[in-house]
Amino acid sequence: VVKYFRQLAATTISLAVLIWVSLAGAAQAVPLDVQTTGRAHKGEPFLVTVTCPRPMEKVTITWLGRHVPAMVNREGGLFRAMALLGTDVRNVYGSHEQLTVQALVQGKLTSHSLMVEIYEKAYPVQRLTVDPNMVTPPKEFRPRIEEERKIVGAALATITPERFWEVPLLRPTTGRISSVYGLRRVFNDEPRAPHRGIDISAPQGRQILAVEKGMVILIGDHYYAGQSVYVDHGQGVISAYLHLSEIAVRRGQAVLRGELVGKVGSTGRVTGPHLHFGLYVLGQAVDPLPLLLAEEG
């Protein structure tokens, strides 16, 4: 019996020590709650939500070497910041990539890191036999294509600290998805770069709407993309609308969610009228479909 009480006393002491240690730890730790996915397939976008019961500021989320300043909103008694992240079907990643959240909470800098597993997804393959001139652009167009690639790349690298977006995003136009994101096209037995957006089949002239509030950062008439509009929604999220027959906005213009940006067309290197819609997150072309509002009807 004495032995039993001794054991019990020892257990109680160790429990007390444990409680004291955890309380001491809690007093120092900043209660930063980071919610995100632990696993995403290549090309899939995902959200990160950072919540804190105490005022937090200067929230920075680091992903694939890019830093996103995340805007803090007060919701009820909590402080919350959000970021949209993802990977690009075109790029190569490790099996796990590190996500880091840094925040200043009442003057104290705190940092949380976690790993996101990136796994391969078998995207569909489409084999086509086409005019060889359609596959490889004539040599004289190469400097123009290279120049346009740089201009678009610079626009897609934009990271505006304000966040104008909320998910889900609006559908840019109505119509069937005729070509999914990630589709691996093989022209005349030559594999091409995977499809970095979705194609929405729609007749010439159908209205195209901004998927979210933002700022028009680029308007182009490019070799591949044809007449195109790029809208910055903040925190590194950019939407792209390609092959338009008409452009309804100008560069530097602020647009509202649902505002007309242009009309469906077949400009650029396409075989028929459709909207190619692209969504970029920190320069990575992600699959826009999981973020779009379901089509009505």
- Stretch of residues binding Zn ion (CB under 5 A), selected from 100-108, 153-161, 194-202, 212-220: 194-202
Q: 135: closest CA among 243, 273, 269?
A: 269
Q: Which residues pair with 81 in a beta bridge?
A: 50, 72
The least CB distance from residue 183 to Zn ion, in Å, is 9
Q: Is 185 in the site for Zn ion (CB under 5 A)?
A: no
The least CB distance from residue 29 to Zn ion, in Å, is 47
- Stretch of residues binding Zn ion (CB under 5 A), selected from 5-13, 45-53, 195-203, 222-230: 195-203
62 vs 266, beta carbon nearer Zn ion: 266
- Give the number of residues in contact with Zn ion, rule: CB under 5 A: 2
Quickly list H helices, the chain: 2-28, 132-135, 142-156
The least CB distance from residue 197 to Zn ion, in Å, is 5
Cα 200 from chain centroid (whole Å):
19
105 vs 169, beta carbon nearer Zn ion: 169
Which residues, 6+ apart, have CB-to-CB distance to 222 below 8 Å?
148, 152, 228, 268
Q: Is 196 in the site for Zn ion (CB under 5 A)?
A: no
- Stretch of residues binding Zn ion (CB under 5 A), selected from 53-61, 100-108, 152-160, 269-277: 269-277
195 vs 213, beta carbon nearer Zn ion: 195
The least CB distance from residue 231 to Zn ion, in Å, is 17
- Using DSSP's 3-state secondary structure scheme, residue 142 falls into helix
- Stretch of residues binding Zn ion (CB under 5 A), selected from 32-40, 213-221, 251-259, 270-278: 270-278
Q: Which of 42, 185, 206, 276 binds Zn ion (CB under 5 A)?
A: 276
Quickly list H helices, 75-228: 132-135, 142-156
Q: Is 199 in the site for Zn ion (CB under 5 A)?
A: yes
Cα(241)–Cα(186) distance, integer angstroms: 24
Which residues, 6+ apart, have CB-to-CB distance to 207 below 8 Å?
173, 260, 263, 264
Q: How many CB atoms lie within 10 A of CB 144?
A: 12
The least CB distance from residue 229 to Zn ion, in Å, is 15
Nearest residue to Zn ion, using CB?
276
The least CB distance from residue 199 to Zn ion, in Å, is 4
The least CB distance from residue 290 to Zn ion, in Å, is 17
- Stretch of residues binding Zn ion (CB under 5 A), selected from 43-51, 151-159, 193-201, 282-290: 193-201
The CA-to-CA distance between both ends of the chain, in Å, stands at 75
- Whole-angstrom Cα Rg for the chain: 24
Give the burial class of 191: count Cβ atoms within 10 A of its Cβ; 0-12 exposed, 13-18 middle, 19 or more buried. exposed
Q: Which amino acid is present at 94? A: G
The secondary structure of residue 159, as a DSSP letter, is -
Q: 253: closest CA among 231, 222, 279?
A: 231
70 vs 218, beta carbon nearer Zn ion: 218
The least CB distance from residue 96 to Zn ion, in Å, is 30
> Which residues in this chain contact Zn ion in the complex, by CB under 5 A?
199, 276
